[in-house]
Amino acid sequence: MNINKKLPKGRHRTFIIAEIGTAHNGDLSRAKDLIHSARDAGADCVKFQYVIAEEIIHPLTGDVLLPGGAIPLFDRFKSLEREPEFYLSLKTEAEKSGLLFLCTPFGPRSAEVLMELQVEAIKIASPELNYYALLDKVQSFPLIISTGVSTLTDIDRAISHCPEETAILHCITAYPAPETEYNLKVIPNLMRIFNKPVGISDHSLNPVLVPSLSASMKVYALEKHITFSNTDKGLDDPIALTPENFKLMCRSVREAEHDGYNETLEKMIYAFGTEKVFTTLGDGEKKLAPCERDNYRTTNRSIMAVEDIKKGTPFTERNIALLRSEKSLSPGLPPDYLSIVLFKKAAKNIPSGTGITGNCF
């Protein structure tokens, strides 16, 4: 994953990832148009999400509010499911456009397809940071892991399941993420602590502030969502950049690389004010951002019932799974406890969608 290996010695260039995610809405032609827009805007890479609804959430997970109104999140994920050929076409188009193809699996089935496609690297999203079985499964591939809604201990435990070729993306798991909570000074600290390349996954709305400051700090990579319109139906479209703003971001990043930290800092202070800039830089201590705290256990994976389980029935890989509980369901025990829970018997009747906790067996 030595992205900068072709640059003259001493030069640094931020690897810019255009997160298309599910902004294609399942339309292959639209997906290809987004790839071309990302390329023309200045991206080095396009990233997608390999969605299989059952690998992510329970059917009883609540609604998501989209421009067209509220719909069940599970149904939205189901509508985005596509066959492996869809992702092969995206990979072919990205590489034909001179871009790296990157994709996020959410479970073993999607991971297996990406491995069969022989992708160059795999991206792990923040909620799957504690999904150790998934990390173990993709250990033969270089990984880029996002670290939103996590602690230093969470990151350390995840890295113990990752290959040597692993890069970290500092992230805030909020949509949108406030610029002033980004705590960008944590980036060099993460570099020192884990001895890994560190970049940033930016969910803030502004195309310049966080990207420019990050680039001036010589981040490894910068990931930001792209879409055609903030009113489109994609799950992340409201916080994504239009192609015009993505191009502005790319230009700002390259300027910051050229100017360096001190000159970029002066420019950002002039544009956004001293207080906002220094609050965005933060104190460098890795901690949950205020906007993430309430979602710490619900965003990550935990043990959930996926069938109605009668009292006395053993827990098996058929009736429980590692899912995100989100806000409408209560989380269960962390994934570490799966081997302990399996084959124990339910101490009571457990409805499907229930988090499996210690009083369930």
Q: pLDDT digits over 116-147, tens only?
A: 999 999 999 999 999 999 999 999 999 999 99
pLDDT of residue 67: 62
Domains and CATH numbers, the chain: 15-281 (3.20.20.70), 300-360 (3.90.1210.10)
pLDDT of residue 12: 77
Count CB-CB contacts under 10 A for residue 13. Answer: 15
Distance between CA atoms of 119 and 184, rounded to whole angstroms?
30
pLDDT of residue 348: 97
Place of tokens 């502030």: 209
Distance between CA atoms of 3 and 273, rounded to whole angstroms?
34
pLDDT of residue 6: 46
pLDDT of residue 10: 54
pLDDT of residue 70: 82
Look up residue 345 and give its DSSP letter. B
Contact 146, 123 (CB under 8 A): yes
Distance between CA atoms of 227 and 139, rounded to whole angstroms?
31
pLDDT of residue 68: 67
pLDDT of residue 58: 97
Q: pLDDT digits over 307-322, tens only?
A: 999 999 999 999 999 9
Q: What is the DSSP string of 19-85?
A: EEETTTTT-HHHHHHHHHHHHHHT-SEEEEE---GGGTB-TT--EEEETTEEEEHHHHHHHT---HH
Look up residue 101 and give its amino acid.
Answer: F
CA angle centred on 247, ends 69 and 105, rounded to 5°: 55
pLDDT of residue 7: 47
Q: Measured between alpha carbons, how far is residue 272 from residues 102, 208, 252, 302, 304 in Å?
A: 33, 10, 14, 40, 45
H/E element, 214: helix 209-216
Distance between CA atoms of 103 and 24, rounded to whole angstroms?
14
Q: What is the pLDDT along the chain (361 residues), one digit of tens a residue?
A: 555 554 445 557 999 999 999 999 999 999 999 999 999 999 999 999 999 999 999 999 998 776 667 889 999 999 999 999 999 999 999 999 999 999 999 999 999 999 999 999 999 999 999 999 999 999 999 999 999 999 999 999 999 999 999 999 999 999 999 999 999 999 999 999 999 999 999 999 999 999 999 999 999 999 999 999 999 888 999 999 999 999 999 999 999 999 999 999 999 999 999 999 999 999 999 999 999 999 999 999 999 999 999 999 999 999 999 999 998 899 999 999 999 999 999 999 999 999 999 999 9
Pairing of strands 301-305, 320-324: antiparallel
pLDDT of residue 3: 56
Global pTM value: 0.95
